[in-house]
Amino acid sequence: QIGIEGKDDYYHSDSHNAQADSQNLLNASLSYYGENWTLTAWGRNLADRDVPVRGFRFGNNALKDYTTETFVQYGEPRVAGLTFSYQL
């Protein structure tokens, strides 16, 4: 299974104009099914994109004369794993 997760551009908050650009993330999984078990290899953000998930816009740096800047927190990087499920 391959999926693309998309987000249009959006504002980080309704109290300022800090805005994130639109983003597309590539996710995938591959499952193998046994009689009463499943093994799934999966990955999220396979292109390892830096995606801002939260942001603020304010002046906080005295060295820059408190010029207004955008500060962002980024989402998770590329993540991959295995999931094993067993039905009793």
Give tens-digit pLDDT for 30-86. 999 999 999 999 999 999 999 888 887 788 888 989 998 888 889 999 999 999 999
Residue 12 exposed, middle or buried by CB count within 10 Å (0-12, 13-18, 19+): buried
Query: What range defines the domain where residue 44 resides?
Result: 2-86
What is the predicted pLDDT for the residue at 37? 98
Cα–Cα–Cα angle for 51, 54, 58, nearest 5°? 120
Q: From CA 1, how far away is CA 74, in angstroms rounded?
A: 26
12 versus 72: the higher-pLDDT residue is 72
What is the predicted pLDDT for the residue at 47? 94
- Report the domain count for the chain: 1
Answer yes or no: are the C-beta atoms of 54 and 12 closer than 8 Å. yes
Q: From CA 81, how far away is CA 24, in angstroms rounded?
A: 21
